Structure formats: structure tokens, C-alpha cells
Structure 1
Amino acid sequence: MIGLLGLMTGWFPRAFRLPAGARRARGVSSFPLTLALLLLVAPSSDAATARVSLDRNTLPVGETATLTLTVEGTTPRTQPSFNGGAGLRITAAGRSTSVSLVNGRQTMEIALTYTVEALREGDFTLPGVEIQSDAGPLRTRPVAVKVVRGGATPVGEGQASLRLVPSKTSCFVGELVPLEIQLYVEEGRLQQGPQLQGEGFNFGKIGDQPTQTRTRVGNRTLNVVTFRTVATPVKTGKLSLGPIWLQMEVPVPGSRQDFFGFRQSHSIRVTADALPLEVQPLPPGAPADFSGAIGQFTLDYNAGPTRLAVGDPITLKVTLTGSGPIESLTLPSLDGWQGFKFYPPSSKTELADPMETSGSKRFEQVVVPQSPEIRQLPPFTWSYFDPE
């Protein structure tokens, strides 16, 4: 996508065109600077709400997931239907009610559950639905579902299988690729967590709090334990993501419980083969201030105070928000700012997910104008590459 993101003062024309996916965030302030104040009003804690969630957003063809529609603060009059299109079959499964009392305030939640069956490969979106309730109509947000090719199912009682599910099969060098590691097992105990290999990749930490759901595979009901991490390719070409393995203890097939309820068990190593991932180079023509950030970001920029004498400090406050390598984001060089003295910047990172792939990073940079001739701050730009 080609474009310039102008912050605070609109769009900025340039004499060159950025390559596909390259974007530049630019902020401008001047003396005197008038800042618009936004009044954010939080919704009442008593307001009725409706939200949807999936116990897993990636599932193979032929398997099922559980969709939960939660209504809080009111009672739905009917159970709405979800349209899964040609790729998903969605059927109502049940309804439950929970009531909690905290500090004398009673809260009621009604959970409507649905079974989502994957029919064919592809990326699908469940549209939001409107719920008629005693508090009036409520609407949910869309939910994304990725269906991948089905694999072989575990064989034999107590055995297990492992599946590696990348979020995409083609990416750019340096791009974060979220991964799911799905363990299918009837029963067992993990002895050593997933060990992921792959030449040409840097891997993030594999989360130590996997999610656990149940699914139907053929005529069997299995537990699905899902671990999540990210892979970042550091070179281009057709790379192999994996193999991956873990160690677990499972019951010996055919064994029976003894008097104390225990079964004979043995240790097994569960593996999954490597998958191909095509890694492309970044397109040419990146802006000079591009420092390697790849993802989707927004920039918020302001400076103050705006009335000062020579030698008084000005604090630049920059916030980068979005999805990508949040922790490694850096400010661009201000070497082009003539007539200023600079102090080292400080930063604070707030991550929005356990895989550390989204959130915000706030910077503060103190600059000091050295001449009374300076009447405004130079333009501030920060460039990134959007792989989408």
C-alpha cells in the first residue's frame, strides 16, 4: 500500500513514491503550538455488553472449536444465529448463566455457546451479530477464523500428535510470523515443553500458559493444548520452519487402572515435521530514516513547552502503537535538527499480548534550542514497512 501517514496536520505530499508497503509517519509542531484536548468518556460500568470469543482461531479441516457469545448486564430474548458461509458450519450448543456479587454489586452473565466445524481451508470472518435484549439491541464484533489442511489423527488409546501452524506461508525478511503449536492427546502429562528448530529464524519465547480445549476428530474426542510463539526470519529464500518435538508421559495402551486409580504409563516423544516458509526480501526504495521496523503502527507526537527562552528544554513525547516488534522499536536520528542540543531519550514499553507482538512504546526526548532565531521544531518522521 502506498501512502504517507500525516499526523497532527494531515497528509504530506512528497516528490517521491514509497515502495509498496513502506509508510512514513510524520509529526510537525511549531511555536506557538496549540494542542487539541480530547475528552474520553468511559462507558458506564452498568451498561449492557455483548462479546464473542473462540477457544482457538486456527483449526484444521474436519475439526471443531467452541464459539462463546457472552451477554452481560441484560438478558437476550433469543439466541442469534451466526453465518459461517461456505467454510464453516455453526450450530447452537448450549446456554449457561452465572451471577457474581462483588462489593455489594450483582453482575449477571449469560453465555451462549456454539460449535464451529471447519469445512474447507481458507481465511474466514464471522460477521458481527445483533442481539435483541431487555436493554435494547446489542452488536458484536467480527471474529476471524483460519482453517488449515487437516492432518493425520492420533492412533491408539493414550497416544498424541503434534501440529505446527504458522499464520502464513509467505512473509518478508524481518517480519514477525505468529505460530501455534497444537498438541492432540486423550490424556497425559507434559514432561518437556515444545522444542522448535529452524535454520534462518529467531524464535520468541514459547508461552508457558497454553490454552486447552476439546475437539471432535472423527469419532474421537481429544484435548487440544495450544502453545503460541513467533518466528522472525533473518534471511531470504525457501526456509524450513521446524521440526518440533516435545516429551510427555501417557498411559500404556490397553493398561487398566489399579486399585488406587493409577495406570501404567510410559514416556513418548511427539514430533511434527518441518514446514516450508517462503521469505521475500524487502522491496527497494526505503526512506533514509527506515530503521527496520516491520508491522502496522500509528504515531502520536507532541512537544512542550512552546514558550521558552534560549537554553530552556523542550520535551518531545512520541508514542508508537501497533503490531510488530514493539520492544525493539527505536526513535530515528535527529542529526538533521540544526541548532539544538540533545539529551539521551528514555522509553517505556507496554505489551498487549503474551507473545509481545503488539502494544505501544513511549519515548521522551529532551532537546534544547541554542539560538533565538529558532521559531519552530523541524519535521519529525518515522518510517516502517507494512507487509500487508
Structure 2
Amino acid sequence: MAGTFGNRSKGPRGAGRARTSRTTAIAAAFRGIAAVFAALAVAAASYAAAQEISVRAAVESESVYMGQSFVYQIQVEGSDEVSQPDISPLQQLFTVEYLGGSSNNSQSISIVNGRMERQVRRGYVFQYRLTPRTKGDVTIPAVAVKVKGQTFNTNAIRLGVNQPVETEDFKLRMSLSRGSAYIGEPVVLTVTWYIGRDVEDFRITMPLLDSPDFEFYDPEVKTDPNKQYYRIQIGASQVIAEKGTATLDGRAFATISFKKALVPKRAGTLSIPQSTIECAAVSGTLRGRDFFDDFFRDNFFGMRRGAMQRYVVPSNALSLSVRDLPREGRPASFAGHIGDYKISASATPTDVSVGDPITLKIILSGPDYLGNVDLPRLQDQTELNTYFKIPDERADGKIAGRTKVFTQTIRAKNENVKEIPPIALSYFDTKSGTYKTASTSPIPVTVRATRVVTAVDAEGIAAGPLGSPLESWKEGIAYNYEGAAVLESRTFGLLSALESPLWLAALFGPPAAFFALFGVVTARRRREENIEGVRARGALRRLRARLDAIRKGDASGARLCELVLGAMREYLGDRLAVPGATLTAGDVARMLAARNVSAAVVDALRGIMGSCEAGAYAGDHSPAADREAFVAKARDAAERLEKELR
């Protein structure tokens, strides 16, 4: 027992020594961690939070061409507490586009010989895109920037702006619909870019759009399903440009053209400065490829087709001679209509009763541009206002080709009206230089009197088509029936009402009609709200019908490619709820990729549209040599897309 006891007492003494050793190690570790934290605290305490603030400006290039854009940066170091700079000093020499700003903060920690150092840098960068307005040596002025409430100025930068030179492959032309005009007379400017080499991207600069001498409008573009259109950004607005082909100086080019309506605001010789196009072009071309294959789309495979080179192409400069309108002979009814105006009118119906509505259509034609043309108030037409009631409301005019149509509802005031009198329009004739008046032809109408309710009609004694006007009748209203039955007591209750079909209809007819009408209106509203969904659901059916008609026809070559391309654009436009006439293969690929459509289907559709574009515009008809196989390939690609979009 003693030996056993001795052994038991020895065990606890060994465990105590081990526990003491572990406690010593833990304490040493804690002392090391505390030392590290102490070093961090000392470093943090010794870190100088105040960083020196500096503000500077930088450009990506100090030599550019007139009309060529470049990036201008304002770089702030030492703080990210900055206010938006005042860039008004730049706007006299450049077109300025703000690209955004971002913080430029960083920090680093280093430990050397047990001493930790931490460095924190704070900053902010503003980015702008500048386009020079003048050529020569230009100085970008200093810009004031507020940082933490203090104002700092950037450095000025000297910039060389060179005159761009036209090349054999790219040309830009501007033309006016006329060389002289009067104040307020619209003139149409046409801009055409001639393209002789594949391009990857481009940017159009038009200093004219900043001119205070003009008002600018975009003429309505009537799209043709057999043509291709693009939305092009110019400054803060967009234009719709048409793609085509043309010959210039004996060479065939692909073209992009658009129009702008200019309305001069002052007299004199108004300058229309050069426009420029900056583009990136490959060093060579590919046969059978459309110039625009990569123009409006990304290169999905990341492959270059050759070395890239940037071009800045200038246009010709123009001038417009503008004269003021003469005061002599100006009629009081003149409302600013300038040009060779013509006016006509039609009405329907022309056989009416007094107070019945008549739809009057007035058609104006003459000037090159009618978008800003309005019709003077019809209430100011004295004769028309005398015989007809004319509401103040009138629908906006609609452009139809080279005419503008205005619609107004009028009502004859009495049965003596025999015609809608001529409607006069005062205008200034630019050909003769005098004020003239154009008028519509009178429109014969038949107006019948409305029926007059008479005392005989109300009393019920005698009948006649027209009697004396309604007047007080001392003897009262005559009974409709005579006899004892008139005085018979007749009880009325719910049961008796339910026994009568007329009362049943009176009780339950209105609610039933209300709910039926409510259902019809609700269904119609839902259809109208979901019109895009309706078109999307029927898109494939319509495509199949068009492709079947193309397959059964005799179209070949470029015409076949145009027909299939038009059908695919309409289908994809309806299916993706976008305007189909302006879709390109690149647009479709981007939209489908955003909807997680598989790469195989995207490639199939892009291949079909690319082949159509190449055949329609670049002369490569080989993919469409077999009409039935080509149409079947387009149909198969669309059906594969439908399965993935469901």
C-alpha cells in the first residue's frame, strides 16, 4: 500500500512542472503580440496624417488634329475631398465632354527591423474628352479646383492642333439644299461619309451644332425595310444615318449619310465650319466582307485583321447667305411661313345636320423641311369662324412625304351653311421676294336642320312633323289612354317585377352590361400594354411565312440577301422589342449575349446576318448560292433562338 501511495503522489508533481512550462510559453507569446501591437500603436501615432496637396493637369497627347478628341485629366493628390472643377475656361477653345471622376487612394505597410511603417495616399482624378475648335498652337488654360475648401490651380498645357488632310480611302462631304435663305427659312444640310476601307470605330465632330446662328432639327426618316440604318452619336444628340453606296471621283465607296435641318436666326453670311470624322481603320481589307462588319460591333474572337491606324478626315466648309424679311407689304395674318407654300383641304362627311362633327383635313406643302411648320389658328379665319364652331384643341400635324397634314373637327352653326369657305395662308414667297396668300378651294356641304320638339309633340294629342315651338299649355298634358282601366289599382312589388321580362331587363341589364364592358376594356388595355409581348409571340410565325415566300420566289444574289436580311431584322426586332430596321449583326449578338443565349446560337445568327450584309452590300453572294439551303439555315437559326428564349 505504501508503494502504491508513493507512486500516486509522484504523478501530480510531474504534471505540475509541465503545466508551469506551458504557462511560461503562453505568457511569452502574449508578450510578443503585445510588442507588435505596441509597435503598431507607435507607428500609427507617429504617422503624419496630413499629406501635401497638389493639383496638376495632363493630356494623352500634345499634338492632335483639328476635330480629333483627346483625354484631359485633372489629377489631385493628397486628398479625395474635392469639388467639381469649373471647366468654363476650356469651353471657348474646346468642345468638352465630362467622362467622370474616381478616387485614387492607396495604402501600404512595411516592417523593417521590427519597425512598422504605413503609408496612405489619397487622391482624385477627373477625366474629360476635349475636341479642339481652332487649329494652331493652343494653350489649355489653368483650371481652378477646390480641395478641402482651398482653391488650387492646375498647370497650363501647350497643345499643337494640326489641320487634318483628306485621304484616298476616306472622304467627308457636306451640302446644302440651297445656298441662300431668309431668316426663319429651313435649309437642309446633308452629311455624307465615303468609306473605302474597313473601319473599327469612329467619332463625328460638328462644330456647327454649337453655333448660336441656327436652330437645328432632325428631319423625319422614313425607313425602308430593304435599307440599313444606324443611330450615330454626335455630341449630346443622335441622328439616324442611312447606309448606301456611291461613286466619287470615279471610285466606288460605301457611304453613311444623314441630314440636319438648319433654320437661320440672323441675316448675313453665316459660316458652316468643317466637320471631322476620327476613325480607326485596319491596314487592309477582306474580300467579301462588308465595310461595316466590325464598324458597329465588337470582335468577339479577339482577333485583329491587321495593324490599326487612326485617321482624322475633314469635310468641306460651307457658307449660307441669309437675308432679312422685308417689312413692306407684310400682312397682319403673316405667321412666319417662308417658302413656296401650297394649301389644300378636304372634309368628311359633307352631308350633316346642324351640330354634327365634320373632320376637316388641311394639307401644307412647299418647303424642304416641314417639321417646325404649324398651321395658324382657324379661329382667325373670319368666314369659317362665322359659320362653324371650332374647338381650341387640334391634333399635331403629321408629316406625310413632302406634306404636313393637320386635322380639325368643326360643326355647322345653322342649316343655311352651304360650304366650308376657303382657308387662307399668308406666306413669304422666296422666289419672287414678296408676300402672298394661298387659299383652299371651298368645299360644298349639305346641312339639315335639327328636329324641333313642339307643344303638340309633348302633349300627345296630334302628330305632325313640325309644329309650333314649345309653349305653356294651360289645359295640361292629355292622357294617353281612356277608360276604367286607367284608374284601376295596380300593386307593384318584387315578385311582380320578377314576373315581367321588361323589369328583369331593367334590373339586371345595366349591371350585366357594365361588367361585360369592363371586361372588354380591361382585356383591351392588357393587350395594348403588352403589345410588345404580342408581337414577340407571333414573330417566329411571321418569319416562317416570309421565308417560305422567299424560298418559293425566284430572288437570287444580292436581292435574295436583302430579302432574308429584312425578314431576320423584322423577326429579331419584334422578338427583342427593338427597332428592327437599324439592327446589325453586332447589335443582335450583344443583345443575345446579355440574355445568356448560348454562343452557338449567337454565332449562327451572326453568321446569317453577316452573310446577308456581305451579299447585299459587298457583292459576296456565295453563301446564298443555294436559295433553299440559305433560307433553311436562317429558319433553323431562328427556331434555335426561340427554344432558348422561352
Could you say which TM-score interval applies, normalised by the shorter chain?
A: 0.3 to 0.5
- Higher relative contact order at CA 8 Å, sep ≥6: structure 1 or structure 2? 1
Name the structure with the higher helix share: 2
Name the structure with the higher strand share: 1
Point out the structure with max Rg over C-alpha.
2
Q: TM-score, normalised by structure 1?
A: 0.48
Q: TM-score, normalised by structure 2?
A: 0.30
